[in-house]
Amino acid sequence: MSDELRVDSGALIFATLADVYISSGMIDEAISILKDGLARNPNYHLAKIILGRAHFLGGDVDKAIETIESIYEEVKDSESANLYLGHCYHKLNDNEKARKYYETTLKINPENMEALHELEKLIPDFTPQPQVEITEPAPVVEPVVEESQVSEVSETPIEEVEVAAVEEETETAEIAAAVPVVEEAEIPQREAVVEESDESEVAVADQVIEELPEKAVEIESVPLEALDKPVKKLLDLHTVKGVFLSTKDGLLIKNYDKGKHDVETTCASIAAICMDVDESFRLLKRGGLTRCIIEKSDETLCVMAVGDSLLTVVTRVEAKPGLVFVYARKIIEEIEEILG
């Protein structure tokens, strides 16, 4: 792809190549190629967003903000522009601005898990995904709001408007069952939308009603942030490069890797090794793996079974695995409790 780029330096393919570089952790290369490409295509906004992202990932937050904000008016509907501005301001501890950009991201894509996760951190009582127990989606309701109803809407709390609209337009048993849950869970979020939005309340009410069927399939999230505190004890060891939790079948639960690992691949590989060990030891009738140390030329992986999960600690070669296990053993109970 590099050769291709050299042949046609004006090609917009440079943004794709830069994205690949970023995914591979080659931030400097990505920045260099983006600057070069943008010099030839200064109006290529996507490339500027990627450049902002590269600056952010490279640790230059101010430059990231400067880059994305320089084109923000043109890309204000871009999910990633808002997300990375949110990340940048979050890093600068400007939580107010961070929150604003995360909320905009969620308005563009309500399923952006990164923005949801960060907002949950910023607002501890943030409840973006209320659990509504409906098995089948309800029919889409399009209420006809007359002028007289508009004034009523503006003075009535949103959840009441929503419930009233639902009751008027649908008589299905599923919706009736869902209403009490919606009343409890949606109040804070809907109020926030009203505060932030310049649209009329009628439009908000429309949006609320249209969103109702989608919420039926959303699942309550596990508070994995509780893992941050125990894991931090391990991360504080200067020889520890990263920590990640995965299921025994290799699916990533939470990543605290400070390095540039392909964590998902590493999780899958470690799970495969553990499964092999378990199966092998079954031959000897000597029980399954409880922990293991895998020494590589550039790092050491200390893996521990934590209930149905695997805790992997990536350390430098010179680290003392004994010390890592002592610390890990201290936090394993806490992790087990959190993961249930």
Partner 1 sequence: MKIDDFTKIPRVLGAGLVSEDGFIIEGQAKFEYDTEKLGAIAARVVNRIKNSLGVAKASAIIYTKDNVLFLRDSADGIAFVICQKDANVGLVKIRLDKFA
Would you count residue 269 as binding partner 1 (CB under 8 A)? yes
Total residues contacting partner 1 (rule CB under 8 A)? 26
| Alpha-carbon span 327 to 324, nearest angstrom | 5
Q: Contact with partner 1 (CB under 8 A): which of 6, 39, 297, 340?
A: 297
Rounded distance, CA 178 to CA 181, Å?
Answer: 6
Please give the residues from 318 up to 337 whose contact with partner 1 meets the rule CB under 8 A.
321
For partner 1, which residue of 294, 307, 316, 326 counts as binding (CB under 8 A)? Answer: 294
Position 290 contacts partner 1 (CB under 8 A): yes
Q: Which one of the spans 46-54, 107-115, 251-259, 292-300 is the region binding partner 1 (CB under 8 A)?
A: 292-300
Q: Which of residues 91 and 291 has its CB atom nearest to partner 1 in the complex?
A: 291
CA distances to 185, 186, 206, 213 from 178, in Å: 11, 12, 18, 10
Taking CB under 8 A as the criterion, the residue among 92, 113, 222, 272 binding partner 1 is 272
DSSP string, 121-180: HHSTT---S-----SSPPPP------HHHHHHHHHS-HHHHHHHHHHHH---HHHHHHHH
Q: Count Cα atoms within 13 angstroms, Cβ side, for 52.
A: 28
Provide the 3-class DSSP secondary structure of residue 195: helix
For residue 208, how many other CB atoms are within 10 A of its CB? Answer: 22
Indicate whether 286 belongs to the interface with partner 1 (CB under 8 A).
yes
Minimum CB separation from partner 1 for residue 304, in Å? 9
Specify the residue, 121 or 291, whose C-beta has the smaller distance to partner 1: 291
Please report how close the Cβ of residue 285 comes to partner 1 at its closest, in angstroms.
10
Binding of partner 1 by 317 (CB under 8 A): no
What are 195's two structure tokens?
Answer: 């505060």
* H helix or E strand, kind and range, residue 197: none
Contacts of 149 (CB under 8 A, 6+ apart): 202
Q: Give Cα separations from 202 to 20, 119, 153, 241, 271 (angstroms).
A: 43, 26, 7, 52, 52
Nearer to partner 1 by C-beta: 110 or 288? Answer: 288
Contact between 159 and 186 under an 8 Å Cβ cutoff? The reply is yes
Q: Does 281 bind partner 1 (CB under 8 A)?
A: yes
Report the residue from 266, 309, 312, 315 that binds partner 1 according to the rule CB under 8 A. 266
Choosing from 5, 115, 270, 314, the residue that interacts with partner 1 (CB under 8 A) is 270
Decide if residue 247 touches partner 1 (CB under 8 A): no
Cβ 279 to partner 1 shortest distance, Å: 9
296 binds partner 1 (CB under 8 A): yes
Single out the residue of 96, 219, 284, 318 in contact with partner 1 (rule: CB under 8 A). Answer: 284
* Contacting range for partner 1; rule: CB under 8 A; set: 20-28, 116-124, 171-179, 271-279: 271-279
What the block records as the tokens of 64 is 């990231």
Least distance from partner 1 to the Cβ atom of residue 295, Å:
4
295 binds partner 1 (CB under 8 A): yes
Chosen residue from 293, 323, 334, 336 binding partner 1 by CB under 8 A = 293
Among 28, 77, 276, 333, binds partner 1 (CB under 8 A): 276
CA dihedral 123, 124, 125, 129 (to 10 degrees): 80
Rounded to whole angstroms, how far apart are CA atoms 115 and 36?
30
Phi, psi of 67 (to 5 degrees): -65, -50
Among 26, 235, 273, 323, contact with partner 1 (rule: CB under 8 A): 273
Q: Is residue 292 involved in binding partner 1 (CB under 8 A)? A: yes
Measured CA to CA, the distance from residue 144 to residue 141 in angstroms comes to 10
Binding site for partner 1 (CB under 8 A): 266, 268-270, 272-273, 276-277, 280-281, 283-284, 286-297, 301, 321
